[in-house]
Structure 1
């Protein structure tokens, strides 16, 4: 029997005989004495094998990295000057009395303490990658967070209820993963993008506080914070308004950070409208650590001769903004050129700028190719409105509103976190949470000339906005809310529609007729007829939360067996072909060029 975990041996065990299990992290032969760093999920301990115990010593000589061992020995203090303060067990060592090789290991494809491994190597050999201390720590952190979430929600009266993994395909904003039905030829299940419809039906069923930590599936293009299968902390509750819902889950996040990270988040979290967030930062998930902000200058540019500015300034679908960078005049031209290339990723055609050498001397004190095309009154107004000081640099964005928001918003983050930003205090350390509220209920698509639900079609409009559903859907704001932390959307939710007349108006605004609504959502609409209570909810991305808390670069670093950006598992080689017999059972036939061997 194991006495304790290897990494937990400490001075309290001095003089005791302990039995440990683990893997060889490193073996060192120091002039006849063999030292073994034994590792398990709790950490490392130093094992000392003396030559006096010939049988044990002979076994130790055969040991190599990643052998699985059982070790029995006496705990003693390390000799003076050899303690390792970086290890919990660093003050002690175990003098080996018994040593058993439980299983040998072939030579690993990489050293587990190598910090320069490619992600392809790591994901291909994920089992070994998961043995690395940083990955062990990440998954243990994930476990502790999930446990604290469960404890908190249990204390608040929430019930953990599972919902189906095989369900009906419904439009929720991304492609569904489809599963063919063998017993119902030609028909398909869908893997759930979220438990949204089921948790609403649970509210009608009377389970007024529901949650589950569950898998969700979306067949969409991937990036650092997305996976085809991801984990949500999914919650719904009845008889509560949006303010009460936000309060419960703000406290949940505060509890998790305090308990797990020993970090005290502010109380209460700041609240900002979607309109203000877009105006000031060009993003509905602004990183509040970065001190840079947009300044709208379209009204100052409508009459200038510089068409790059005056054109968008006179177009209601466009935006012209300035981004003042304190001390930005220090930037070399090469850095400005790099930023110009960077904003091109987001569709910007260029990046105009002005260096402010002497703000009191217009235009001679301003350095930029565009100065000669802007009248002096407009230049003075820009300097005044942005609060420009000598030595500053002002970047400009002028284009379609979405392009400006995306490009200059990304530039704001990049500059804030750059060496220049850190040097001049343009970014703060720590955690900056924020609630973003009052989202638009609909998004208008110019190609299809119709509105689409910005969240989902069961989101409730704000009180007093119901009439806009028929007269001007663009004005409708939703009872929706997102929790943002350091520029990442941690969670989002809304109050749901529980009245049939309001739901009918929303469907009409979305150009969904009664027949289509019945076909897609009939089971939910039927349930809502039976005294549906007022209800709302929220879902948190557990993977994103852990990524932030762990300081990881990607959610793939906090998921045990993730997919690549091509939605492939390099460990199991999934997805893969299947044999013809399986396809026939599912009544599926592939085109010749699509068929792959099983």
Structure 2
């Protein structure tokens, strides 16, 4: 038996017991007559004492232990004289009588501590060591428990977990696919699924009216903090339901998970239309933890001789409470920030609401105190507040101001900690018109249904009508992060064919790509709808973290590489021959 207890288990009530512990050496401390070793496993740390007077040979061996040695210790539990209140086992220690070195260890390239000295790339290279650190262990264990809580809740709601294929057919819509060559079918390729979308719809046709799956998905796209080339979804579909049924079911799931995992009782989730989210927050995933809603200033800022505003489609501002004291250097820094290519604003106007009731702005030459007071009235700004204003094209300016709103709140610590503000964003546009390609793109995906009252317009309307179509689509947003997205699905072949036509598919292309789904619709497809939660992102948001990477055991880096196993990598030429791929593909 390697251990009778784990290293987070023993308490004062266990004093006097003979125990066996195993784990990794966290640190050793030599005080001459006494040597102390902190022994660690994923459950915690226990202090081991080696007494020179009791066993000189054993104490001498203990002094030679290195960090991360794997050892087994036998001894007696006793009460500590110098207790450690910051450790669950801090009231006890083990007086060692035997020790076995199970495996020696090289000195790690970084410290295995909560706050390590290792950089990101180094820790990614030695991920198996990084995963020994308590913060990452907590994250991975949280993820495991969250998955169990999801399964338990959906199981009680009569959902059936069904696995769908990983080797599927590549489709032209959405992000780029990862493709897999087929050895048995020369010159042909599978794709790894970006989502089990069509399969879960087929399961509804097959009569499994409540499906879910915690499933890996794959997208070959540029990476950032909340994206990985392979990620996990809580994927769900329901038959004989409308939008409200889905929202109520998965609002219930979300509230259950927060209560079960965090002890937080979330209130009912508000609903916000997509158009209102863009108008008020410049984003389809608004962060409601703080105010600073966008305010249109055209009526009070235009036709005053300031050409920049007069020529703009929109003048939009925000009130930043309590920040009139920002320095010129800080304001210039904000101006530079919005001018970055990633944001694209041409400039930034500021107005300080002074404590004496006067105003100081970067456009004093064009706007007197009375006119600036009208801005303050429009935004609700009070003494001590700051107004920030951007102008330009309507949609672009709202998005720019929405980004500035988030940046300012983060930069000046205006976002309350340990606060969760969920909401449903609903009534998305069905289609997006792309001027470059001169075609529509699906705002959600090609299987999303228009709202019931718009079906006739979709089937018979003109081009401009199509731009205004609203979808039966919805997103779950928490703290400015899109946690889940879904829609009511098309289940009628004629309507699905019309949608493919609007998206630029010829009838032949639609049949080749999705004939299996449209064919299934002819055999009694029920009304159905679904949603998919980003599982990695949900883990991160519930723990107040921006990056999903630390909730994935073995993630990729920002270039999509696994630096631990050095993948992707070249393959043997014989493999390429078997797959009928040109050998010169690897020469680049």
- TM-score normalised by length of structure 1: 0.93
Separation of aligned partners in 1, 2:128 and 2:501: 52
Map 1:85-484 → 2, pairs under 5 A = 85-113=85-113, 114-266=115-267, 268-313=268-313, 319-344=314-339, 345-357=342-354, 365-374=358-367, 379-419=372-412, 421-422=413-414, 427=416, 429-469=418-458, 470-471=461-462, 472-484=465-477
SS in 2 for 1:49: strand
Contact 2:111-2:117 at 8 Å conserved across structures: no
Question: Deviations 1:178-230 (Å, cap 9, x if unpaired)?
Answer: 11111111111100001111111011111111111111000001000000000
Separation of aligned partners in 2, 1:391 and 1:54: 70
Contact 1:290-1:413 at 8 Å conserved across structures: no
SS in 1 for 2:111: coil
CA drift of 1:576 comes to: 1.0
Separation of aligned partners in 1, 2:61 and 2:544: 40
Mean Cα displacement is larger for which, 299-308 or 391-400? Answer: 299-308
SS in 2 for 1:508: helix
SS in 2 for 1:417: helix
Separation of aligned partners in 1, 2:11 and 2:338: 53
Separation of aligned partners in 2, 1:500 and 1:71: 69
Give the aligned length: 579
Separation of aligned partners in 1, 2:485 and 2:431: 16
Corresponding residue of 1:486:
479
Separation of aligned partners in 2, 1:527 and 1:339: 55
CA drift of 1:17 comes to: 1.6
Corresponding residue of 2:66:
64
CA drift of 1:311 comes to: 1.8
CA drift of 1:355 comes to: 2.2
In structure 2, relative to structure 1, the CA distance for the partners of 1:278 and 1:502 (3 Å cut) is same
- TM-score normalised by length of structure 2: 0.94
Question: Deviations 1:362-388 (Å, cap 9, x if unpaired)?
Answer: xxx432242433588764542321122
In structure 2, relative to structure 1, the CA distance for the partners of 1:56 and 1:281 (3 Å cut) is same
1:595 paired with 2:582, answer no
Contact 1:547-1:558 at 8 Å conserved across structures: yes
CA drift of 1:391 comes to: 2.9
SS in 1 for 2:508: helix
Contact 2:449-2:487 at 8 Å conserved across structures: yes
SS in 2 for 1:95: strand
CA drift of 1:326 comes to: 2.0
Contact 2:573-2:583 at 8 Å conserved across structures: no
Gap regions ≥5 residues in structure 1:
314-318
Separation of aligned partners in 2, 1:110 and 1:240: 53
Separation of aligned partners in 2, 1:259 and 1:32: 48
Mean Cα displacement is larger for which, 148-157 or 462-471? Answer: 462-471
Q: Cα RMSD between the aligned structures?
A: 1.9
Corresponding residue of 1:316:
none
SS in 1 for 2:545: coil
CA drift of 1:572 comes to: 0.7
In structure 2, relative to structure 1, the CA distance for the partners of 1:157 and 1:432 (3 Å cut) is same
CA drift of 1:559 comes to: 0.7
CA drift of 1:302 comes to: 4.6
In structure 2, relative to structure 1, the CA distance for the partners of 1:195 and 1:72 (3 Å cut) is same
Of 532, 545, 553 in structure 2, the residue corresponding to residue 539 of structure 1 is 532
CA drift of 1:138 comes to: 0.8
CA drift of 1:430 comes to: 1.1
Contact 2:168-2:193 at 8 Å conserved across structures: yes
Contact 1:122-1:129 at 8 Å conserved across structures: yes
Gap regions ≥5 residues in structure 2:
none
Separation of aligned partners in 2, 1:308 and 1:590: 58
Separation of aligned partners in 2, 1:513 and 1:494: 24
Contact 1:359-1:389 at 8 Å conserved across structures: no
SS in 2 for 1:71: strand
